[in-house]
Amino acid sequence: MAAPAPPPAQATTPASPATTPMPPGAGQVVQGQLSAPGATPGAMSAASKRIAKGMLATTPGKMSWLRALSIAISFVYALAGAGTLYANSSALTRASTNTSQVVLVQGIYADLLRADADATNAFLVSGLERPEQRADYEAALARVSSNIAAAATAQPADADALATLNVAVQGYASAVESARAYNRQGMPVGAQYLKQASTSLRATALPLLDNLRVANVDRAEAEFSGARSLVPFLVVGLLTLGVLGAVAVWLAKVTHRYINVGLTAAIAAVLVSFIAGFAMLTSTANTVESTRTTQFAQAVALTNIRSAAFDIRANESLGLIARGQAAPYETQVQKRITEVTSILKEGRVPNQTAVTKAWDQYLAAHANVRRDDDAFRWDQAVVTATAVDGGSYVAFKALDEATATPLTTAQADLSTRILSPRTPLFIAAIVALLAGVAASGLAARGIAQRLEEYR
């Protein structure tokens, strides 16, 4: 940034301390103005203070001091005003990164439970597992691996947690493979490996993902509030306008002329850019708030519903595998049902009617499985849980489909909307910068004209 050229006129030679006594009252007024908050420049040495005192004793001295003050405050506006606008804009970028990370982490959570739902359900039919189910399991785990890598790149602060998660996922996958191998040979120990895999998944991997989600939601919320904040810009703008205005009033009084063209133009430039910037910030705050409560909330709610559905499906299968001992798994199912019921009750899920319908049908199908198993009709329960042409699979798939599209939409809209105010904010920052620089030049020239009159 080019500093404005110093005014050519070296009009104000330092006056000697004793010359031109002023009426005491006038001097006090000026002193009072000068001690306005924020206007006092940095620490002054005792000598400078003496010189300053001497300067302030004469009208041209005061005028030249106020000229310097006007230049300084305009620069403050140029830098701090543009800076705060730019800070809001970069908070948006970081908020977007953090919300993307939340979505990514939630996706890993859902995919792990999806894999577990596939693995446990396939176990019920042993070597006769459907190839599509196996493919779905493998695809889910592949997505988990690549998303862990992507998440570690996107947020270095998450790297340690993701590395630990990666170890847990590998342990899970290898236990599932042991279970599958034993199961295909008809050995009951396979069921124990599967149980161990599912238990460790829920005891290690999922709590880590909860940590990741909480940490990134907190980060996103902090950036959201940074992107919404109006106060710094408001303070800088009003302070600048106040100081320039006070200088203009003083100048008008001393010179008996209402308008100083340069100073007035400086005030106008700052005022226009201030109003534009403030309007931009207010609209950004609205966009951020509505995105947070709409697209972000929707994406989180939909992923939670999907995770709950996958977890219920896995626990349904585990309950059937632990023949006659399904109670602990059913407890987990009921917990998930409570979670989703409260999400649906809030009524903010996109495609709410279809999702609620699919959810209710899925729960009804699950209840059928449980009723048969509890009535010792285990074979029938397994048929209901594994058949591809009816039962809980069809209901599960319908729920999967009813939530998948709105989730993709919400995720895409989320990123677009959060980033949408970035360009206008950037332009507003440039305008504030230029306005501040222009104001310093205009104010300097305007006051210099009056100083000329004292020579």
Restricted to residues 206-245, the positions that interact with other proteins (CB under 8 A) are: 206-208, 210-212, 215-216, 219, 223, 232, 236
Q: Does 309 bind other proteins (CB under 8 A)?
A: no
- Contact flag: residue 41 with other proteins (CB under 8 A): yes
Taking alpha carbons only, the member of 182, 204, 185, 206 closest to residue 194 is 182
Judged by CB under 8 A, the chain residues 176 through 195 that form the site for other proteins are 182-184, 186-193, 195
Distance, CA of 28 to CA of 252 (rounded, Å) = 18
Classify the C-alpha dihedral 332-367-124-109 as positive or negative.
negative
The yes or no reply on residue 90 touching other proteins (CB under 8 A) is yes
* Residues in region 323-362 near other proteins by CB under 8 A: 323-325, 327-329, 331-332, 335
Interface with other proteins (CB under 8 A), residue from 30, 57, 62, 64? 64
The single residue among 30, 57, 76, 418 that binds other proteins, judged by CB under 8 A, is: 76
What secondary structure does DSSP assign to 185-229, as a single string?
Answer: TT-THHHHHHHHHHHHIIIIIHHHHHHHHHHHHHHHHHHHHHHH-
Contact 323, 378 (CB under 8 A): yes
Asked whether position 67 contacts other proteins by CB under 8 A, the answer is: yes
DSSP output for 385-415: HH-SSSHHHHHHHHHHHHHHHHHHHHHHHHH
What residue has token string 């049908």?
A: 361
Closest to other proteins by CB, 189 vs 261, is 189
Task: Tell which positions 6-25 bind other proteins, by CB under 8 A.
Answer: 6-7, 10, 12, 14
Under rule CB under 8 A, which residues in 150-169 are in contact with other proteins? 155, 157-161, 164
Determine which residue in the list 30, 57, 62, 80 makes contact with other proteins, applying CB under 8 A.
80
Three-state secondary structure readout of 60-82: HHHHHHHHHHHHHHHHHHHHHHH
Q: Using the rule CB under 8 A, is 57 a contact of other proteins? A: no
Residue 399 Cβ vs other proteins, minimum distance, rounded to whole Å: 20
Q: Does 171 bind other proteins (CB under 8 A)?
A: no
End-to-end CA distance of the chain: 33
The two structure tokens encoding residue 164: 């630990």
Closest approach, Cβ 85 to other proteins, in A, equals: 9
Q: Work out whether 120 is an interface residue with other proteins (CB under 8 A).
A: no
